[in-house]
């Protein structure tokens, strides 16, 4: 069965390029093309896609419509994966995208469109509930935090890594507790310790979770 994809991009050339690239894959079918946020939301309602591939900036405001769409779809269509494409290696877009959970979300630079398998991999990944974050964005987040080049996850215990892996799937503390057969209090303790080990103890709770997930994804991809 083919993965149904909606492509949202206000640049006709980029939109046609993305659609052509995806339609070459035997297991992917582009079912709608859109040029702005209202068209995208309508296309999701009409086409019931598995994945949305969207520009980060589109009309009507050309601000962060792709991020808005991802957040709205998290609530209205939680099973729809979203791949956000951007010209900008801007960490704030990625952190906002993942603020409500990383499952089924990807953030890629548009230059990856010239590397067809990168985009195709992201589409398939979010359709199965996984996450993909562009390495350039992860590098900027790690550099901004003053991280060492060696993996900061090396200091985590196996249990702390298990907890972080569950967080990376977008689960709440209660969800992590249920998955690992722990009490919520134990999960909270593990999370506080792993945040401290990753140097995130002074961040806000949302930023700590997002940055920890990005570090985890980066470590898996290295």
For the stretch 42-82, pLDDT in tens is: 999 999 999 999 999 999 988 899 999 999 999 999 999 99
How are beta strands 51-55 and 81-86 bridged, if at all? parallel
Please provide the size of the chain in residues: 222
What's the confidence (pLDDT) of residue 221? 57
pLDDT (tens digit, 9 = 90+) per residue, 196-212? 888 887 667 777 888 88
What's the confidence (pLDDT) of residue 187? 93
Architecture label for domain 3-141: 3-Layer(aba) Sandwich (3.40)
What's the confidence (pLDDT) of residue 8? 97
What's the confidence (pLDDT) of residue 142? 64
Q: Are 82 and 106 in contact (CB under 8 A)?
A: yes
d(CA 182, CA 179) in angstroms, rounded, equals 8
Residues of the chain with pLDDT under 50: 147-149
CA nearest to 109, candidates 131, 135, 127: 135
What's the pTM value of the predicted model, to 2 decimals?
0.72
What's the confidence (pLDDT) of residue 11? 93
What are the sequence ranges of the domains in the chain?
Answer: 3-141, 146-221
The answer to whether domain 146-221 has CATH 3.30.300.160 is: no
């Amino acid at each position: 069965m083919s993965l149904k994809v909606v492509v949202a991009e206000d640049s006709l050339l980029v939109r046609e390029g993305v659609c052509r690239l995806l339609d070459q894959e035997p297991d992917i079918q582009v079912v709608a093309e859109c040029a702005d946020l209202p068209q995208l939301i309508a296309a999701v309602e009409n086409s019931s896609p598995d994945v949305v591939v969207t520009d980060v900036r589109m009309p009507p405001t050309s601000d962060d419509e792709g991020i808005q769409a991802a957040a709205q779809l998290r609530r209205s269509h939680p099973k729809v994966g979203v791949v956000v494409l951007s010209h900008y290696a801007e960490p704030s877009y990625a952190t906002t995208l993942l603020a409500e959970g990383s499952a089924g979300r990807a953030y890629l630079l548009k230059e990856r469109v010239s590397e067809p398998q990168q985009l195709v991999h992201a589409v398939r990944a979010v359709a199965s509930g996984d996450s993909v974050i562009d390495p350039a964005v992860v590098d900027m987040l790690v550099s901004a935090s003053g991280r060492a080049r060696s993996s900061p996850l090396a200091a985590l215990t196996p249990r702390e890594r298990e907890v972080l892996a569950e967080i990376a799937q977008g689960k709440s503390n209660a969800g992590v507790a249920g998955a690992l057969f722990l009490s919520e209090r134990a999960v909270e303790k593990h999370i506080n310790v792993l945040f401290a080990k990753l140097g995130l103890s002074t961040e806000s709770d949302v930023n700590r979770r997002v940055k920890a997930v990005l570090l985890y994804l980066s470590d898996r991809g290295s």
